[in-house]
Structure 1
Amino acid sequence: MKVSRALISVFDKAGLVSFASRLGELGIEMLATSGTARTLQVEGIPVMEISEFTGFPEILGGRVRTLHPKVHAGLLYLREREQHVQEVLAHGIQPIDLVIVNLYPFAETASRRGITLEEALEQIDIGGPSMIRSAAKNYRYVTVVTDPADYASVLEDLETNAGETTCKLRKRLAAKAFSTTSSYDAGITKYLSQEQEAHNRFMLDLPLACCLSYGENPHQNAKLYGSFFDYVDKLHGRELSYNNILDISSAVALIVEFTEPTIAILKHTNPCGVGSDSDLKGAWMKAFSTDRLASFGGVVVINRPITLALAQAIAEVFIEVIIATGFETGALSLLQRRKNLRLMRILQRPPMDTWEAHSVAGGMLIQDMDPPNVGGLGHKVVSSRPPDPREIEAMSFGWKVVKHVKSNAIVYSARDCTLGIGAGQMSRIDASRIAAWKAQKAGLSLQGSAVCSDAFFPFADGLIAAAEAGATTAIQPGGAIRDKEVIEAADARGMAMVFTGTRHFKH
């Protein structure tokens, strides 16, 4: 479609002057709202203010300026329909073939600390979305531009096609335009709903972050949406896969549980081993020793910058991803020798007090996140013997880990490392046996260890198995019908046991 007239109304004026200047050189007449018009006029670009075009002044402090039949009829009329042509001629309405509009930054304004409701409401754009929707609906004749990043492609189309745009471009820009208004409305909805307890609709609007080569398996397509890369930055290695991103997210959620220098190794989002030590190489050996076999091809996460000594130790093992708060120069150079090893830097702590979602047939499940145990270990001693200080430290360590292990989950722990992990079993007794077996295979003694269960022991058998493996203390949520029986089993074996009252199922 030949473009003869453009309407411009933009908040973000990046690239506007050069774009409008080139439109003028192509012989396109330009209309603009007052603020945009002043920007162009200062640069000597011919432009007509919208109030002159409509014959109606901007009123109510600019709230009403483009909501006018001459604007929307000029955008919406079907150029090949005779009735429409006759009506616009009869009313002196001229066609508008190109709309360049971007919106007031509502989301940015509403997120500022201390913003008042009145200030936020003033940033709700009315005329802009209306023009965008009118133009996008009539994309067969009208080109709509909502993003300065598209200025170049519009100019290329106009210059290549003697002042015309292609239907392919107009359709793409129309889809982007409706996405823009949808996102804008979602932001307003979220803001106005945030003080309400009940939400009758769940709205999620996230930008595309990147396309992934495939999903969990090669036959599944996958994309990443949202602000994942605001929290972690890839410094080196192959492109991230769907499974990498799941593992990285799980790894970061686990490591923020710890304030002391700590290293965790994960595989398929499950911890293989976790260790703490003031010497990072020592922490690595504690984590790696828990399960050397499962660590192969895993993900390593550290809540400190990686030193050269640590990098040298990790480099002896095949690892897919390393995540840290930073990399010392020598460590980075060493690890970058492995072309395929993905190196990720934690940029900021992700929010752990919001919500998480899981897709289900026909919808989504939304729940609050299970936050880190930052307030320390809250517990009630239920056994005859209370745990000693060393046992409390071991329980505290294991309790931070077990919540990140798939249910049914059992973790045997010392005060500074995991000793055995049993994950994802249908039976808690099986999880306990697997955790003990793994410790045995690793050559780690469970004598004096703490056994940590993500949910209650439904029967005494799980606790008895732990005692027989060498655990002297147990931590669990409690709340089972047979709690009394489990407590009696602990007392009969001289075990200390505490109830937390908090379950940490992870399906």
Structure 2
Amino acid sequence: MTDQTPIRRALLSVSDKTGLVDLGRALATQGVELLSTGGTAKALRDAGLLVRDVADVTGFPEMMDGRVKTLHPAIHGGLLALRDDPGHRAAMEGHGIAAIDLLVVNLYPFEETVAKGADFATCVENIDIGGPAMIRAAAKNHAHVSVVVDVADYAPLLAEMEAMGGATSPGFRRQLAQTAFARTAAYDAAVSNWMAGAADVATPRRRAFAGTLAQPLRYGENPHQAAAFYRDGSTRPGVASAMQIQGKELSYNNINDTDAAFELVSEFAADDAAACAIIKHANPCGVARGQTLAEAFGRAFDCDRTSAFGGIIALNRALDGETARAITEIFTEVVIAPGADEEARAIFAAKKNLRLLVTDALADPAAGGLAWRQVGGGFLVQERDNGRITPADLRVVTRRQPEADELADMLFAWRVAKHVKSNAIVYVKDGATVGIGAGQMSRVDSTRIAARKAQDMAGVLGLDAVPTQGSVVASDAFFPFADGLITAAEAGARAVIQPGGSMRDDEVIAAADAAGLAMVFTGMRHFRH
């Protein structure tokens, strides 16, 4: 590895022209010769800079609508030649190849083109070929060449050159090379995953996923674990795209829980009714609708006030002053909402550690996409759980038909159960959860825990009756035995929504009939591990 490498000749070819002219001027001021192509060359010339066309170097014009312009030995030889190898130097001299010391390339906007919903042919035309080839060549030869693929690295490059007298150091070039290889890997991952969908290949032989660093984190789930947060380039509204208005830096657990909260509250459209979800350790401890956000928050809080302490709050409408005042009465880690008015922001400003995130929109619960998680030696990939049901999808299996208010609460409970760790049991009454049982090894245990929490809250709230009296209950998967359903009936539930499909469905239906319950099957389950 050589030491400092002076930059005397640079090739610039960028799709994103942000900062291009300033970079070109700074390089020219240091006496760097500029080579360029197409629109990049024009932008530099329009700024009064002297630029040499790549076509003058290769002896070939850009052709085939720009598909062929840099794929030439005069370019790749200039990038790949080992300057300290006599054979390489002889080849350069023999073929008239001049060294290229700096490559600045950002790629055709393939990801953005796909995100806009462009047709197949347009997406294909936005697959860059020459750019990745040059980037990989320069990165491979980082012993001698600096390669820049991100606009964010323009300033560090110029600072390095200023400090090194127009040169770059080996460590700096190695860092640039790592970023370059990561960029081409991410680009190829985006193309291959899009192509899998376009070719209708559900399980391609090879899968690749990539991300861009959003922020290093102080630590992961625990202080001894290093961690960072990456964005995957998705346009889905949520914690990754949200703007943090105030508060201290988000932690690993904050981000995980905020994502869970926002995905849940997005089940409830803003034009339907105000809705609030409170999350603790990735499980909801209260979800409710209301005439106002403040009412929805209060009803969600009353489901489990103990667990809500230090939780994450998600809202389906812009945060207002009344709701902000109510939230600041309890200790909350994060609030995420589509927006926040000036009064709400002013109220939160007095709570400097409280994080406020705004997303501008809700996530679409019906949207597709992939979800993945790592396991030892590999990772699991599946479609996002975007399953939804309507009243028309329900099959009544008991003698008693559900009443209108029961049906509304069952559909509400079903949406919440989708976001509760299995085994999931959710009691709901009048559009608010009143008991949630999550993550138990036995479904009957989840049913009992949820009922017990409701009993505890009855004491806290000074209620004459346990909130589960007259409630409905949702189960994310079928009741394998009648015991869980009987427990729900003993807690006061009067209607049940569950997938059905157990070998003992007849036994469970008979128990429901004996208890005078109405029960519907959805034919869909929502396991969440």
Give the TM-score category using the shorter length: over 0.9
Match of 2:492 among 470, 474, 477: 470
SS, match of residue 6 in structure 2: coil
| Farther off after superposition, 476-485 or 377-386 | 377-386
1:374 shift after superposition: 6.5
Alignment-derived partner of residue 267 in structure 2: 257
Rounded Cα–Cα distance in structure 2 between residues aligned with 1:373 and 1:67: 50
Alignment-derived partner of residue 463 in structure 2: none
Counterparts of residues 199-278 of structure 1 (less than 5 Å) = 199-226=204-231, 229=239, 231-258=241-268, 259-278=272-291
Aligned amino acid, residue 497 of structure 2: I
Asked whether the 8 Å contact 2:389–2:522 carries over to 1, the reply is no
Q: CA-to-partner distance for each residue in 1:116-167, whole Å, 9 max, x for gaps?
A: 4333333333222222222211111122222333333333333333332211
SS, match of residue 276 in structure 2: strand
Structure 2: gaps spanning 5 or more residues? 459-465
Counterparts of residues 163-202 of structure 1 (less than 5 Å) = 163-198=166-201, 199-202=204-207
C-alpha spacing 1:176/1:388, structure 2 compared with 1 (3 Å): same
**1:501 is the counterpart of 2:501:** no
Match of 1:73 among 68, 71, 77: 77
Alignment-derived partner of residue 462 in structure 2: none
Match of 2:356 among 319, 332, 343: 343
Rounded Cα–Cα distance in structure 1 between residues aligned with 2:441 and 2:30: 71
Q: CA-to-partner distance for each residue in 1:466-489, whole Å, 9 max, x for gaps?
A: 222222222211111111111111
1:225 shift after superposition: 0.9
Q: TM-score, normalised to structure 2's length?
A: 0.89
C-alpha spacing 1:437/1:10, structure 2 compared with 1 (3 Å): closer
Rounded Cα–Cα distance in structure 1 between residues aligned with 2:359 and 2:95: 61
RMSD: 2.2
Counterparts of residues 94-493 of structure 1 (less than 5 Å) = 94-113=98-117, 115-198=118-201, 199-226=204-231, 229=239, 231-258=241-268, 259-352=272-365, 353=367, 354-371=369-386, 373=388, 375-376=390-391, 378-443=393-458, 444-493=466-515
Structure 1: gaps spanning 5 or more residues? none
| Farther off after superposition, 354-363 or 90-99 | 90-99
Asked whether the 8 Å contact 1:231–1:349 carries over to 2, the reply is no
Rounded Cα–Cα distance in structure 2 between residues aligned with 1:87 and 1:340: 62
1:428 shift after superposition: 1.5
| Farther off after superposition, 470-479 or 343-352 | 343-352
Task: Give the number of the structure whose alpha-carbon radius of gyration is greater.
Answer: 1
C-alpha spacing 1:487/1:203, structure 2 compared with 1 (3 Å): same
Q: CA-to-partner distance for each residue in 1:320-369, whole Å, 9 max, x for gaps?
A: 22222333333322222122111222322224322211211111111122
Alignment-derived partner of residue 89 in structure 1: 93
Asked whether the 8 Å contact 2:239–2:258 carries over to 1, the reply is no
Q: How many matched pairs?
A: 506
Identity, in percent, stands at: 48
Rounded Cα–Cα distance in structure 2 between residues aligned with 1:155 and 1:346: 34
SS, match of residue 293 in structure 1: helix
Aligned amino acid, residue 382 of structure 2: Q
Asked whether the 8 Å contact 2:422–2:440 carries over to 1, the reply is yes
Aligned amino acid, residue 464 of structure 1: I
Q: TM-score, normalised to structure 1's length?
A: 0.93
Rounded Cα–Cα distance in structure 2 between residues aligned with 1:450 and 1:209: 42
Aligned amino acid, residue 92 of structure 2: V
